[in-house]
């Protein structure tokens, strides 16, 4: 399946009060090849589902619009990728609504614990351009490649500290997620 993804990503300054009541799932991502600075091929495992996705920017200067090619995999097919060297990241994704907009809020786990980003996806360029930054958001990091999933994978929170400092980001924690 190929689709156009329109998305904006923000660092959070606070967690939404209703987060604990939102549906969530644990997601494990493996980005391939591990040698790439920003791998665009991702093997994702969530629950009993596996998928292989290739995300590519339409315009090198704009990360908010990307083509996304996704293939659903069987568990047996996914196991075949375990031998491939990859950059890995795990996060708990919450599906919630913020200021009337559906959102995916990612609380990173393990070596990236404390990092929380929120993504808003859009059906049109007009709706994306019309989004007013919600109060819980600290900074729009859509165009900051250092915050992209494939670049974050394999890093630690300490690795990101200099980048996060420029946004005056303070780590966020949710007791159940730590």
The reply to whether CATH 3.40.50.1370 applies to domain 2-177 is no
pTM confidence score? 0.92
Cis peptide before 27 (omega within 30 of 0): no
Both structure tokens of 50 = 């596996």
**Domain segments of the chain: what residues?**
2-177
Taking CA atoms, 34 is separated from 14, 75, 81, 111, in Å, by 32, 22, 13, 17
Q: Give the pLDDT band of residue 82 (cuts 50, 70, 90).
A: confident
- In percent, the amount of the chain with pLDDT more than 70 equals 98
How far from the centroid of its chain's Cα atoms is residue 1's Cα? 20
Pair of tokens at residue 15: 């967690």
State the pLDDT confidence band at 15, using cuts at 50, 70 and 90.
very high
């Amino acid at each position: 399946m190929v689709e156009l993804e329109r998305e904006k990503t923000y660092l959070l300054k606070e967690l939404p009060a209703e987060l604990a009541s939102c549906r969530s799932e644990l997601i494990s991502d493996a980005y391939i090849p591990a040698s790439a600075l920003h791998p665009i091929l991702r093997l994702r495992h969530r629950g009993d589902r596996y998928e292989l996705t290739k995300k590519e920017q339409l315009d090198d200067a704009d990360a908010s619009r990307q083509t996304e090619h996704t293939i659903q995999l069987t568990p047996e097919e996914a196991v075949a990728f375990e031998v491939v060297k990859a950059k890995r990241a795990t996060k708990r994704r919450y599906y919630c609504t913020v200021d009337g907009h559906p959102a995916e809020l990612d609380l990173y786990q393990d070596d990236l614990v404390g990092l929380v980003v929120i993504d808003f996806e859009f059906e049109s360029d007009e709706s994306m351009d019309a989004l007013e930054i919600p109060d819980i958001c600290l900074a729009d990091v859509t165009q900051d490649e250092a915050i992209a999933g494939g670049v974050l994978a394999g890093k630690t929170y300490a690795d990101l500290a200099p980048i996060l400092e420029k946004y005056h980001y303070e780590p966020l924690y949710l007791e159940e997620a730590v």
